[in-house]
């Protein structure tokens, strides 16, 4: 069984500043999913419930979102964490 972890990566609005595809942070298969039609995506679902869009773990999402907010605040404030 694998370990559970959370990753937060800043993506800034200029060239080579965190592009998730360029840094190979997004598997090519996920990028391919974006090109699928709705019926093709439905056929590939791993949870057979119409009410579940994508199962996730709320507590892990909160950890990642909190870190992203901290990173954003540090970009715009003079505070330095050491």
- Tell me if 20 sits within 8 A of 12, measured CB to CB: no
* Domain layout of the chain by residue ranges: 28-76
pLDDT at 4 over 80: no
Please state the pTM of the whole predicted model: 0.49
pLDDT, one tens digit per residue, over 18-42 is 666 666 777 777 777 778 888 887 7
Cα-only R_g, the chain:
17
Number of H helices, E strands in the chain: 3, 0
């Amino acid at each position: 069984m694998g370990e559970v972890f959370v990753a937060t990566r800043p993506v800034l609005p200029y060239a080579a500043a965190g592009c998730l595809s360029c840094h190979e942070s997004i598997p090519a298969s996920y990028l391919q999913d974006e090109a699928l039609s709705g019926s093709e995506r439905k056929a590939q679902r791993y949870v057979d419930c119409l009410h579940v869009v994508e199962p996730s773990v709320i507590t892990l999402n909160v950890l990642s979102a909190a870190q992203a907010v901290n990173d954003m605040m540090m970009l715009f404030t003079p505070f330095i964490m050491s």
